[in-house]
Structure 1
Amino acid sequence: MMHTDARILVADDHEIVRMGLVLILKQLNPLAIISEVEDYKSLSSRITEENFDLVILDVNMPNGTLQQAMDLIKIRQPKIKILIFSAQDESIYALRYLKMGADGFLQKFSSKEKIDEALSAMLQKGRYLSEDMKELMFSNTLNKQDDSSSIEALSNRELEVANKLIEGLTLKELSNQLNLHVSTVSTYKNRIFEKLNIQSVPELIAVMRVYS
């Protein structure tokens, strides 16, 4: 169980989101010591300099990638609990982030009641999964489906590249954001198209909509 004066780091590039989370956290745990960062670079600095019990982490922030942030957190402070707080589809992304090392996943569109429930669970037990996600995981275990043409066939990095492609980023912009060579990004793009059996970004957008 997390102690009452838990040290919590809220990482999100939208100030209004950070303000809301801090307010809720203070209601749930008045003695909590809460810090805020707005990008991956600041997150890396804080994790290197200070100890935390819980990080509430957005997945799309400037100056880095989620994978880099998760790797750094696990290396610097392996006991930190990580709650991914994202607008992404829980049924597609939650399990991926858990496999990357997160301890919980919470959608930004959740009700106040569910946000309270998730934050309380993270503070008390150090983990959280919604009932819907638990049922989905149970269902997936029972029905081990191997659909090679679904986005489940994509690796975490390929899914990250796919999401950037549907945002309209060029390969050059993508390479700069992900710190990869343009040829490497091109290879990822080709793999994505091959795995999904598609030929263009508009087709990719259509496929992603089916699973969102």
Structure 2
Amino acid sequence: MQENSRYRVFIVDDHPVVRDGLKNLIEQEEDLVVCGEAADAATALQTIPETSPDIALVDLSLEHSSGLELVKEIRDQYPELPVVVLSMHDELVYGERAVRSGARGYLMKGESSQRVVSAIRSVLQGEVFLSERLMGQIASRLSHAKTTRPPIERLSDRELEVFQMLGQGTSTTAIAEKLSLSVKTVQMYVARAKEKFGVTSARELMREAVRWDETQVKS
């Protein structure tokens, strides 16, 4: 906590209008100030040590990078820096993954301004900020065997990213480029996803991916 006793907030989102909106919201609070921002993971990891934030707000959908991977990198490189994920993605699909990656809070875009501020303050005080719905899911997960979980929940973080992009009509080559992976690695993730969904062809997996993508919250 620096700069006239105001907590310093770092924002990571690839949409300038979202960053501006969050900055305006945060700086209306007497105890909060935005100390830096980034549109991608590489810039965030470079800028965080230069700006000394007390907390980071991270979106999951970033250009040329994965928000989940960034949360893991922050956890590993800056373990004292708490992270709150603010994303358009359904918390029941991504919330637990974000927590496992190191996030201390998860909010879906569309939440009230007051709830965003409450999440920041709660996490700054050492608490975990999750909705009752998400906490209920996590508690339920602890009482069920891994084999009873639906296929979408058994995908690894990378497998889920690839699956989601398939559902959006992205080619294997384009997925590899966006995630900075080789085509062979993407094909490996596709093969694992097929196994978990119990399908034998890429076309069948594509249908599952499209069907799932249509159910997700759009920004």
TM interval, short-chain normalised: 0.7 to 0.9
SS at 2:107's partner residue? strand
Residue correspondence of structure 1 range 38-57 to structure 2 within 5 A: 38-57=39-58
Partner of 2:71: 70
Equivalent pairs counted in the alignment come to 211
Q: 8 Å contact 2:39–2:62 — kept in the other structure?
A: yes
Deviation of 1:209 after TM superposition, in Å, equals 4.7
Residue correspondence of structure 1 range 29-178 to structure 2 within 5 A: 29-144=30-145, 146-147=147-148, 149-178=150-179
Deviation of 1:112 after TM superposition, in Å, equals 2.9
Deviation of 1:193 after TM superposition, in Å, equals 1.7
Alignment partners' CA distance in 1, 2:124 and 2:27: 12
- 1:204 and 2:212 are equivalent in the alignment: no
Alignment partners' CA distance in 2, 1:196 and 1:211: 18
Alignment partners' CA distance in 2, 1:5 and 1:18: 19
TM-score normalized by structure 1? 0.87
The one-letter code of the counterpart of 1:54 is I
Partner of 1:195: 196
Deviation of 1:163 after TM superposition, in Å, equals 1.1
Partner of 1:11: 12
TM-score normalized by structure 2? 0.84
Inter-CA distance 117–7: structure 2 relative to 1 (3 Å threshold) = closer
SS at 1:28's partner residue? coil
SS at 1:179's partner residue? coil
CA shift digits 1:71-102 (9 cap, x unpaired): 43223321000001100001111111100111
Deviation of 1:137 after TM superposition, in Å, equals 2.0
CA shift digits 1:102-147 (9 cap, x unpaired): 1111100212342232223223335311122222222333444633
Alignment partners' CA distance in 1, 2:97 and 2:26: 26
Inter-CA distance 149–140: structure 2 relative to 1 (3 Å threshold) = closer
Q: 8 Å contact 1:9–1:52 — kept in the other structure?
A: yes
SS at 2:192's partner residue? helix
Q: Which stretch has the larger CA shift, 136-145 or 164-173?
A: 136-145
Alignment partners' CA distance in 1, 2:173 and 2:11: 31
Inter-CA distance 123–148: structure 2 relative to 1 (3 Å threshold) = closer
Alignment partners' CA distance in 1, 2:41 and 2:74: 11
SS at 1:128's partner residue? coil
- Unaligned 5+ runs, structure 1: none
Partner of 1:25: 26
Inter-CA distance 173–112: structure 2 relative to 1 (3 Å threshold) = same
SS at 1:79's partner residue? coil
Q: 8 Å contact 2:82–2:124 — kept in the other structure?
A: no
RMSD value, Cα: 2.4
Inter-CA distance 68–96: structure 2 relative to 1 (3 Å threshold) = closer
Inter-CA distance 196–41: structure 2 relative to 1 (3 Å threshold) = same
Alignment partners' CA distance in 2, 1:137 and 1:162: 22
Q: Which stretch has the larger CA shift, 162-171 or 32-41?
A: 32-41
